[in-house]
Amino acid sequence: MKLISSLALIAALSLETCGPQPGGTADQAPGIGKTISKSKGMVAAANPDAVEAGLDILRAGGSALDAAVGVQAVLGLVEPQSSGLGGGAFMLVYDAKKGEVWAYDGRETAPAGATAELFIDPETGEPFRFFEGIASGRSTGVPGAVVMLHQAHQDHGKRDWAKNFNRAITLAEKGFRVSPRLAGMIERVGAFLVLKRDDNARAYFFLEDGSPLPVGFVRDNPEYAKTLRALSENPRALLEGPIAQAILDVVAQEPLPGTMTLEDMANYQPRKSRALCSSYRQHLICGPQPPSSGGVAVQSILGMVEPFDMAGLGPSAQSWHIFAEASFLAYADRNKYVADPQYVQVETEQLLNKDYLSTRAALINMHAAMADYKAGNPSEFMRGKDATPDSPGTSHFTIVDGDGLVVSMTTTVESAFGSQRMAAGFMLNNQLTDFSFKAVDEAGLPIANAPAGGKRPRSSMAPHIVFNPEGEFLFTTGSPGGSSIIAYTAKTIIGIIDWGLSPQEAIELPNVIARRGTVKLETRGLEPELTDEPERMGPAARFGLSEDMAKALEAKGHKLRRSKGEISGLHIIYRNEDGSLSGGADPRREGVARGL
């Protein structure tokens, strides 16, 4: 890999005022090796109850995969706004003994009856307003998170599948304490009234007088416990029999009922493949395959940043400028080219090809922001301009066990509380709003991420596992946050590899999201504030860029949107040189990282 010193780079750029030298090529990529473990294990997730459930399972001799089942079961109970049984997920698993990295895809799937017009109002011929699309039956895809976990459990589980639900069942029966974040979400999302429109959700999230559950309220959920018992006996219990029927009954309700059938559910299968990996400097970076754009986009940001001396520049305005420019370009490619590979050809290899990324990086001028950020064309593809909306829900967790098995999983019901409809004790997802609402663009070109029956909507979820130059496991990373996930995750990889930060420091770097022409950045000194975006509660002012740095970015021509709080929920586990583990949890949410 060719590394260019900052002086040489700045000298070259001041002559050329264009981009850097080409980076390395794919055939120089480092490999994946085996990793000897010296730790008993660690769990980092968005809620302490979920972390304790995972640790209990590790203590009882379960693997990281067993623990993942327990963590997800608890998250679905205590953090129903973000993820759950009714949602989907992407998971990366590194098997330290075999030296393999697997990508599991439990993404929701559109029912066979879904058409390209899924979100087009037949009366006006125009796309529905986004909120109408979310709060509907037709936004719900066949849920995949649990069957994906089961598939991975068959590969990597060490103890009985059923036992992993025990703690969540007890917590659901005895009740859990409503956390400040959950209480805040019920209050704010509840204010839009849709959550109250659903009988099950109204009875569950609100007191009899209609007020939202307060912080510390002990909420039991016997229906959820019953569903977990059914799942512990039959991992496909959501997709057949009475629970499947309960889901269908709710999906079929007005307004905008969905077309999902028992056959759609019976047909659902999770997917498993090798992870999508590329090199960054001397490290190997592995993420999910499409239909998530998270792997491609994070890795293409890194590929474009790679020729620059980020280590020498440190976390400066200059570095954030490079990061922003690379992000603009990577988001443009991701918007145009990534969708379900079983429906459209997705050229991940071309998109991550080092020569291609060098031509993209060459567009970056150190002194000035680009006037226009267009997608490249690595494969001479004709694709329409994407019209996929964006909204945040989701949770990311990570687990390492004593054998060195590593899990990095991002899991979601899409928006806050998904479609805001509840069945069998859990929320139904609104994942199909991750499709483009339009199927063709103004020029008449087909849009890659258009809805279709049986198709999986594009995701931004980006669970990653990073390997050191010896091919050993180094760290995991990933976050919730809609399409901002890509920027949140990429900054942590640069923070750790280039800036030598600890996991916690990397998480607490300011979030800088450069997409569609605007740089949104956490800015220090602004009071955190509630906004109209329901999940936005971050106490971000603490982590923001200084106003001086923001001004330096403006001086380069960037259009800034100063953010008073981002909703990253980054969780990282890092393997130290002596084999011990360090964790990091995002203070913008309620998570913790704890080891055994």
537, 182 in Cβ contact below 8 A?
Answer: no
552, 9 in Cβ contact below 8 A?
Answer: no
β-bridge partners, 292:
459
59, 67 in Cβ contact below 8 A?
Answer: no
**Three-state secondary-structure class, residue 548:** helix
- Which CB atom, from 37 or from 411, has the smaller least distance to ligand GLU? 411
Give the interface segment with ligand GLU, choosing from 114-122, 127-135, 308-316, 390-398 (CB under 6 A): 390-398
The structure tokens listed for 448 are 């890659």
Q: Is 565 in the site for ligand GLU (CB under 6 A)?
A: no
- Which CB atom, from 294 or from 312, has the smaller least distance to ligand GLU? 294
Closest separation between CB of residue 158 and ligand GLU, Å?
A: 29
Give, for 513, the enclosing helix (H) or strand (E): strand 512-515
35, 150 in Cβ contact below 8 A?
Answer: no
Question: For residue 548, what are the contacts with CB-CB under 8 A and spacing of at least 6?
Answer: 317
Closest among 342, 350, 352, 335 to 295, alpha carbons compared:
352
* Site residue total, ligand GLU (CB under 6 A): 14
Q: Count the Cβ atoms, other than its own, within 10 Å of residue 233.
A: 10
The structure tokens listed for 253 are 């309700």
Closest separation between CB of residue 435 and ligand GLU, Å?
A: 11
Q: What is the 8-class DSSP label of residue 543? A: G
Window 485-504: contact mask with ligand GLU (x via CB under 6 A):
x-------------------
Give the interface segment with ligand GLU, choosing from 238-246, 367-375, 377-385, 457-465 (CB under 6 A): 457-465
Closest separation between CB of residue 462 and ligand GLU, Å?
A: 9
Closest separation between CB of residue 538 and ligand GLU, Å?
A: 13
51, 74 in Cβ contact below 8 A?
Answer: no
* Spatial distance between the Cα atoms of 406 and 467, rounded to a whole number of angstroms: 12
Closest separation between CB of residue 291 and ligand GLU, Å?
A: 9
- Which CB atom, from 47 or from 353, has the smaller least distance to ligand GLU? 47
Closest separation between CB of residue 453 and ligand GLU, Å?
A: 19
The structure tokens listed for 382 are 């004709």
Among 81, 398, 459, 511, binds ligand GLU (CB under 6 A): 459
Give the interface segment with ligand GLU, choosing from 48-56, 223-231, 456-464, 540-548 (CB under 6 A): 456-464
- Which CB atom, from 151 or from 430, has the smaller least distance to ligand GLU? 430
Closest separation between CB of residue 342 and ligand GLU, Å?
A: 17
Q: Is 392 in the site for ligand GLU (CB under 6 A)?
A: yes
Q: Is 151 in the site for ligand GLU (CB under 6 A)?
A: no
The structure tokens listed for 106 are 């439990």
How does DSSP assign 5-67, residue by residue? -HHHHHHHHHHHSS-------GGG----------S-EEEEESSHHHHHHHHHHHHTT--HHHH
Cα dihedral 260/172/47/541 (nearest 10)? 80
Window 421-450: contact mask with ligand GLU (x via CB under 6 A):
----------x--x----------------
Among 79, 105, 306, 414, binds ligand GLU (CB under 6 A): 414
Positions 6 through 35 that interact with ligand GLU (CB under 6 A): none
Give the interface segment with ligand GLU, choosing from 27-35, 60-68, 389-397, 520-528 (CB under 6 A): 389-397
Q: Is 68 in the site for ligand GLU (CB under 6 A)?
A: no
Question: For residue 302, what are the contacts with CB-CB under 8 A and spacing of at least 6?
Answer: 278, 280, 285, 490, 493, 494
How does DSSP assign 300-360, residue by residue? HHHHHHTTS-HHHH-SSHHHHHHHHHHHHHHHHHHHHH-S-TTTS---HHHHT-HHHHHHH
Measured CA angle at 445 (ends 442, 447), to 5 deg:
95
| The residue type at 531 | T
Cα dihedral 54/57/61/65 (nearest 10)? -60
* Spatial distance between the Cα atoms of 463 and 455, rounded to a whole number of angstroms: 21
Closest separation between CB of residue 207 and ligand GLU, Å?
A: 27
Among 480, 534, 544, 591, binds ligand GLU (CB under 6 A): 480
- Which CB atom, from 307 or from 480, has the smaller least distance to ligand GLU? 480
240, 418 in Cβ contact below 8 A?
Answer: no
- Which CB atom, from 473 or from 488, has the smaller least distance to ligand GLU? 488
Give the interface segment with ligand GLU, choosing from 169-177, 353-361, 420-428, 476-484 (CB under 6 A): 476-484
Closest separation between CB of residue 480 and ligand GLU, Å?
A: 4
Q: How far is CA 279 from the centre of its chain?
A: 21
Among 106, 295, 481, 565, binds ligand GLU (CB under 6 A): 481
Among 30, 482, 495, 538, binds ligand GLU (CB under 6 A): 482
Q: Is 460 in the site for ligand GLU (CB under 6 A)?
A: yes
Among 394, 436, 468, 563, binds ligand GLU (CB under 6 A): 394
Among 3, 461, 501, 550, binds ligand GLU (CB under 6 A): 461
Among 81, 259, 411, 412, binds ligand GLU (CB under 6 A): 412
- Which CB atom, from 278 or from 460, has the smaller least distance to ligand GLU? 460
Closest separation between CB of residue 392 and ligand GLU, Å?
A: 3
Which strands sit side by side in the sheet containing 518-522, from one edge to the other?
512-515, 518-522, 560-563
Residues at the interface with ligand GLU (CB under 6 A) = 392-394, 412, 414, 431, 434, 459-461, 480-482, 485
